[in-house]
Structure 1
């Protein structure tokens, strides 16, 4: 039976991160993950993780200057110093909290110069992360939610991973984003499973609970079970009302 991780970037946003971790445990999740935890002390997060016996699966590097439209920095030419500082910050926080993965956000860019910057910055991140036993993830984002984002397809991500050439870099396979951009989720999961470091879910097109919309997650869950996927699947969706009110999908699966 699959296990599930609560993405606390979207779920229980009304709670502090430590209390959201506790809420995820009470709701029956097997792990947690987050987006940008840096305003919360690593000590407080560790206390909540130890209390609940949950693992933090992942966190993101910072967007940069979000007010100016930044959505990551690692593929943005000319901002290599900022990008590396962002990776260092994320890896340090992950190491302090026992977090397994760091998602390095590419940012808005295009072209060969951007690709070269992304590869170089990812190599730097992988080298640092390896010292702490942390895996680096990269995630294609769809053009509706993240217009202009450098990384948009699974094939592009796998080419970048090959170019980086590090053993601790994997694909973040977000079913929501990839269904919008490419579709054909079954064949992509079958073909790329060994390159996938984490899988995330949400309904399409509204990014809400994974119990409706154009993806039949009952089928996806069975497929992952058949493929032997043994890590928690990340529930990264925006609740239609409250998080607790929308957890029938998890209860039904259990």
Structure 2
């Protein structure tokens, strides 16, 4: 081929390739809108307030809106504090839509008033009472998952003794939950240095010692990243004792794609491991108003596009 013809052919081919690439790029910006309403590969669970600008302040209306966007689960930290009739209505709505209920925080527990590591009877009694209350809440909303935080360190005791105290208290709690098929998930947190439970391997050891299907780890990847990083290798090491996952990018604790964590790789990994449960959306919205809510949906479509 003559040089002139070769150059002309190359320009035509390059132009076609470029225009095709531009068209593809332009399409990619809108690809996810065509998936509106299609269920995601993983079962992401929304929080109250996440879609308030589209659906209004009522959580049930937000649940219905989320369903229309393809979400098939919720979680609600404050569920136990809601009026009983509202709990029942939420449960009925989920059942009607075929949506799953993720975690709620066990009632009556707070970090400052809950020190299972101390071994003190008052804390154990409060914990047992909260387990009993959790059973009643779980029945109304058809939930099998409750978040438990053991509370703060007791600085006057050796760490091994504190760990033993936590294990013994958790055993008493699982004796209440296990007959009802309810799983408490222990959550390692990064909120402050006084918290006893901070890493996934620490929770793994406690769950192994308790030895009950009603005691597993809540693997919140925001906290894991802040406390120790190495999210996927740590997940692999602890997977037999992981019962639930939560999402939040770091820094900022907002939706995937707003921080440093590669959630597309993590979601693919969790999916390939065969996880079928709820993945809690335990974070805020990076953007404001309806635009921020649409950006959140798009972020999950992008992170979930690993198939």
Would the alpha carbon gap of residues 218 and 149 (structure 1) be closer, same or farther in structure 2, given more than 3 Å must change?
A: same
* Aligned mates of 1:88, 1:120 — CA distance in 2: 17
Counterpart position of 1:127: 175
- Is residue 97 from structure 1 mapped to residue 141 from structure 2 by the alignment? yes
Counterpart position of 2:301: 251
TM-score (norm 2): 0.73
* Aligned mates of 1:84, 1:9 — CA distance in 2: 28
* Aligned mates of 1:18, 1:117 — CA distance in 2: 40
* Aligned mates of 2:49, 2:194 — CA distance in 1: 23
SS at match of 2:194: coil
Counterpart position of 2:232: 186
1:23-81 residue CA offsets vs partner (Å, 9 max, x unmatched): 3323321211110212232322222212322111211113646xxx6275544543221
* 1:39-54 equivalent positions in 2, closer than 5 A: 39-41=82-84, 42-54=87-99
Q: Is the 8 A contact 1:71 1:105 kept in 2?
A: no
SS at match of 2:232: helix
TM-score (norm 1): 0.87
1:142-194 residue CA offsets vs partner (Å, 9 max, x unmatched): 1xx23311100111101111221213211111111001101111111222222
- Is residue 58 from structure 1 mapped to residue 130 from structure 2 by the alignment? no
* Aligned mates of 2:76, 2:113 — CA distance in 1: 16
Q: Is the 8 A contact 2:188 2:198 kept in 1?
A: yes
Q: Which stretches in structure 1 are left out of the alignment for 5+ residues?
A: none
SS at match of 1:70: coil
SS at match of 2:229: coil
- Is residue 195 from structure 1 mapped to residue 241 from structure 2 by the alignment? yes
Shift of 1:132: 1.0
Counterpart position of 1:11: 50
Task: Pick from 248, 270, 273 the counterpart of residue 224 of structure 1.
Answer: 270
* Aligned mates of 2:78, 2:169 — CA distance in 1: 19
Counterpart position of 1:154: 200
* Aligned mates of 2:113, 2:171 — CA distance in 1: 20
Q: Which moved more, 1:147-156 or 1:117-126?
A: 117-126
* Aligned mates of 2:97, 2:237 — CA distance in 1: 35
Task: Give the number of the structure whose residues are more often helix, by fraction.
Answer: 2
Q: Is the 8 A contact 1:4 1:235 kept in 2?
A: no
Which entry has the higher C-alpha Rg, 1 or 2?
Answer: 2
Q: Is the 8 A contact 1:75 1:117 kept in 2?
A: yes
Q: Which stretches in structure 2 are left out of the alignment for 5+ residues?
A: 1-39
Would the alpha carbon gap of residues 105 and 23 (structure 1) be closer, same or farther in structure 2, given more than 3 Å must change?
A: farther
Q: Is the 8 A contact 1:21 1:32 kept in 2?
A: yes
Shift of 1:220: 1.0
Would the alpha carbon gap of residues 209 and 200 (structure 1) be closer, same or farther in structure 2, given more than 3 Å must change?
A: same
